[in-house]
Amino acid sequence: MSTMAVPDVAVAPVDEGFWTRNRKVGAGLLVLGVLAAALFGALATDQQARFTLSEDSAGAALAVNGTFGAILFGIVAAAAGAALLAGVPKRWFSLLLAVGVVGFVLAFLCWQVSAAPTGQNFMPMVNILRGTFILALPLIFGALAGVLCERSGVVNVAIEGQLLMGAFAGALFGTLSGSVWVGLVAAALGGAFISLLLAIFAIHYLVDQVVMGIVLNLLAVGLTGFLYERLMQTDTAKYNQPPRFSNWEIPLLSDIPVIGPALFRANIFLYLGLILVLVIHIALFRTRWGLRTRAVGEHPTAADTLGVKVLRLRYRNVLLAGLVAGIGGASYTLALYTFTKNMIGGKGFIALAALIFGRWNPTGALLAALFFGFADQLGTYLGAINSVIPSQFLAMLPYLATIFAVAGLVGRVRAPAADGKPYIKG
């Protein structure tokens, strides 16, 4: 049996002079840290900002004076930025960046929590963590769908449509059958239907993959919207009241403080999402299928000469991506909500950003999805404590976090070399 290696694409070094990316990020963090210490410190109050280790205000808590905490964490962010600006070794970049971002967020939270109305100046960490995981779920599944496609050389802009079709099919067939499992299978097939169209037009007919993805998103919005109005809106009980997956509690693990109630008292979608991240990561980097997938995404001609059936592999992986994204759509309608028109609301595009932020790696995509899920949950929490920040800006938080992450933090990244390039067998 012949072996095959994924070719490394040489990238010419770029002389950035003094203002390397690390120093630019450091300068930005330094400015943000000083701003946080000065502005948030001035706006915070002398009330304690309490971060409770429970679902309410009771129990153990980490407490800090609001003004002191805002200034302290702002200084921490500024110090991390100053270290990057000074030119510390590159191996420290990720750690200092994380310290700077966390410091800025904590300074912001010290202001917001301490300035909340009396009785509301606490942040329940269990609820925040649980909400982060719930809101990140469709992003996790969507980003994994993107990994499967783009590692194979097919751009998947249709994640939004795959999630939406999965949510619709799960709600409709789950209601008609009265079974959550039938709904889950239908949701997976709904996502695969959009993926099948993407595969046919992008791989077989060589249609521009980005344009095709946008068209499929519009198709999903139009088709589900039409059927929603004709069926679900006219008879909700018959077509749009699916059964729900209940939470599964894992003994012992669910008793771990903070993490246990949020992570180990959850529904099947959270467990399935985390398992899929692990499985796809191992399969992509430790199996023959993964080696062939990465080869097809980097250099399909070389893979073809070594006997890999490029088009067949792309078809298979695109359909698999649709199944994964469809399950992500079902996490809405079989666990949380009833179906409504265009209920995904742009989450597919945030999943695409998580894919890029995570550098086309399943584990990186998971962390990016959690980052965006936290931004979404933070907006909900701030609205609940009557934050002085207008609600319109709070609703923008996950999208602002997306722009900030992709434009400011992700840096120079390289997609798989053959991503978006049709392959014509010679």
One pLDDT digit (tens) per residue for the chain, 426 residues: 344 544 444 444 444 577 887 888 889 899 999 999 999 999 999 998 899 888 878 778 889 999 999 999 999 999 999 999 998 888 888 889 889 999 999 999 999 999 988 888 889 999 999 999 999 999 999 999 999 999 999 999 999 999 999 999 999 999 999 999 999 999 999 999 999 999 999 999 999 999 999 999 999 999 999 999 999 999 999 999 999 998 888 888 888 888 888 899 899 999 999 999 999 999 999 999 999 999 999 999 999 998 999 999 999 999 999 999 999 999 999 998 899 999 998 899 999 999 988 889 999 999 999 999 998 899 889 988 888 888 888 888 888 887 877 776 666 678 899 998 988 876
Non-local (6+) Cβ contacts of 393 within 8 A are: none
Non-local (6+) Cβ contacts of 285 within 8 A are: none
Query: Bridge-partner residues for 62, per DSSP?
Result: 51
Structure tokens, 329? 């759509």
Q: pLDDT digit string (tens) for 268-311?
A: 999 999 999 999 999 999 999 999 999 999 999 999 998 999 99
Cβ atoms of residues 194 and 161 within 8 Å: yes
Closest to 250 (Cα-Cα) out of 264, 261, 263:
264
